[in-house]
Amino acid sequence: MFYDYLKVYVRAGDGGNGCVAFRREKYVPFGGPSGGDGGRGGDVILRADAGLRTLVDFHYKSHFKAGRGDHGEGKGRHGKSGADLVLRVPVGTVVRDAATGEVLADLVTDGDEVVVARGGRGGRGNARFATPTERAPRFAEKGEPGEERWLELELKLLADAGLVGLPNAGKSTILSRVSAARPKIADYPFTTLEPCLGVVRVEEGESFVLADLPGLIEGAHAGAGLGHKFLRHVERTRLLIHVLDAAGTGGRDPVADFAAVNRELVLYSAELAGRPQVVAANKMDLPESRANLERLRAALQGYEIFPVSAVTGEGLNRLISRVAALLRELPAPQVDYPSGRMVTGIAPLRVRREAGVFIVEDGAVERRVAMTDLDNPEAVRRLRQYFERAGVTAALRAAGVKPGDTVRIGREEFVYQPEET
């Protein structure tokens, strides 16, 4: 089974908690705080690997979690950072956020990688909060939760040229004759159930990758047949080889077939349909093909037509030589998506009201709350001071909050009580 689209859940590791500890040594009076920091949580990283061909590994396991950071300890000992989790995907994988549809990365080169979930920061131990006025802090930070999200992984094969056409036009036979690929070949529609790649060697030191796709039928763009599922795999090609049954087997008209397939390409993607095309008039070993060839040349003016026979090999060398020459001239496809480490924009602090609850939306504020030990009065006092400095209190007042109202920040809920003056 060829897997080229899957959803996976990833979660980065949580940061370790900071430690509350004090030095207690016989000859060290007022030893002071000595709690160490927690370790950072591991990231989840996707890395392109040229040795993979499908996303089948993610079919059997779809939930992944990186290692969490260890907690800090006394005597200033910091926790160990959690291990990163590196997931290998095929070259040509497009990574999207499943919730928003945002494209996070397009991994088109072997070794490309992207951090799709960042590990949480380790909480600071109480030794980090000692000041001249607060020499014995009795609180520490909790570890920051790691990021989590659902991802869509979509594989688009990287091929230089693609074979398109109706079922049984002879695409798979052509691929088997010009490359070492061995797709299944039989005399019935939809023999090809999944894309197949072959490396075509032109001459010493020169080759190109050719993709054979399941046949297109009328209505493919709307879900009919099999070809619509795999049209994504010719989106990156620079050239299309349109294979026609020139013999008109089964009473078909090759001119009408050419128009039908191109219509499906336009309906799927106008940009894809605009790619350069050469026409391979196949089955020239059959007598009916000669008469149809003249009709094709008259009807498809402006297209280069190559009479070929996938069975006997007639005309294939000339077709491949021309395709190779065109590929030398055509530019490489442009990648418009980011590749590498993700950059997250900073959204302004926002307060909205929903079902009587005031919801504060701000990434930094939510992280601060998540890292605060809400059972520790000193930590809560420090959090209130942070709310004042960060403008959270002012934003809540501007939104109309009153004493006794419920305020939600991240996963925590509070009852609003203004600080007594």
For residue 210, give the H/E element and its range. strand 206-212
What DSSP string describes 159-170? Answer: -SEEEE-STTSS
Q: Are strands 239-245 and 161-164 parallel, antiparallel or unpaired?
A: parallel
| Residue 168 assigned as binding residue | yes
| Residue 248 assigned as binding residue | no
| Residue 97 assigned as binding residue | no
| Residue 215 assigned as binding residue | yes
| Residue 165 assigned as binding residue | yes
| Residue 51 assigned as binding residue | no
Cα–Cα dist 156/235, whole Å: 7
Cα–Cα dist 412/398, whole Å: 21
| Residue 321 assigned as binding residue | no
| Residue 292 assigned as binding residue | no
DSSP class of residue 75 equals: T
Cα–Cα dist 147/361, whole Å: 16
| Residue 284 assigned as binding residue | yes
| Residue 212 assigned as binding residue | yes
Cα–Cα dist 68/81, whole Å: 7
| Residue 283 assigned as binding residue | yes
296-327 core/surface letters (b: 16 or more CB in 10 A; e: else): beeebeeeebbbbbbeeeebbeebbeebbebb
CA 339 to chain centre: 10
Cα–Cα dist 228/213, whole Å: 10
What DSSP string describes 171-195? Answer: HHHHHHHHSS------SSTT---S-
| Residue 338 assigned as binding residue | no
Do residues 152 and 7 make contact, with C-beta atoms less than 8 angstroms apart? yes
Q: Are strands 93-97 and 103-107 parallel, antiparallel or unpaired?
A: antiparallel
| Residue 213 assigned as binding residue | yes
Spell out the residues 6+ positions from residue 128 whose beta carbon is closer than 8 angstroms to its own.
Answer: 18, 37
| Residue 253 assigned as binding residue | no
| Residue 192 assigned as binding residue | yes
| Residue 317 assigned as binding residue | no
| Residue 175 assigned as binding residue | no
The residues with which 282 forms a beta bridge, in sequence order, are 245
| Residue 148 assigned as binding residue | no
Tell me the two tokens of residue 366. 């939510």
Question: Residue ranges for the binding site for Mg(2+)?
Answer: 172, 192
* Binding-site residue set for GTP: 165-172, 190-194, 212-215, 282-285, 309-311
Please enumerate, by residue number, every residue annotated as part of a binding site: 165-172, 190-194, 212-215, 282-285, 309-311
